Amino acid sequence: MAKIVLASGSPRRQELLQRIGITDFDIRVPRTEETYPAGLSPRQTVEYISREKSDAAAALCTPEEIIITADTMVFLDDQRLGKPVDEADALRMLTALQGRRHGMHRHHRPPGRRDPDGERVHRRVFPPCRGGGALGLHPHR
């Protein structure tokens, strides 16, 4: 069986894998700059950064390994909030969002494995994550 690699240091993503019964996986966090070209929409921004992380993760893995990457970003007035640096920053973000319309954009690169010819094969194994920066989201009931 192919080894699964979670290309994220997120405890939440680790928990999600474990909750669906995937407990045998490696964690390899690619080092990437979360920069992006000017003029991208919030959706394009998260897709761009997710693609950059996915490409960086592929360099850390063998062709036989299945790679899972994902990214979630929160935008307020089309400005990316980023990850809070500490609890005070998280509180500042949540206070700014309170009662205001904002966008949460998530993008996950479907788990991929390269076949012997180097082509990527993608499969979906888990639903999108429910968090981003200072937020924790819950499904609508």
Q: Going by C-beta distance under 8 Å and a sequence separation of 6 or more, which residues neighbour residue 96?
A: 76, 81
Q: For this structure, is 115 an active site residue?
A: no
Question: Cβ of 50: how many Cβ atoms within 10 Å?
Answer: 20
Q: Which of 24, 26, 71, 115 is catalytic?
A: 71
Quick check: helix, strand or coil at residue 75?
A: strand
Measured in whole angstroms, how far is the alpha carbon of residue 82 from the centre of its chain?
Answer: 12
Residues classed as catalytic? 71
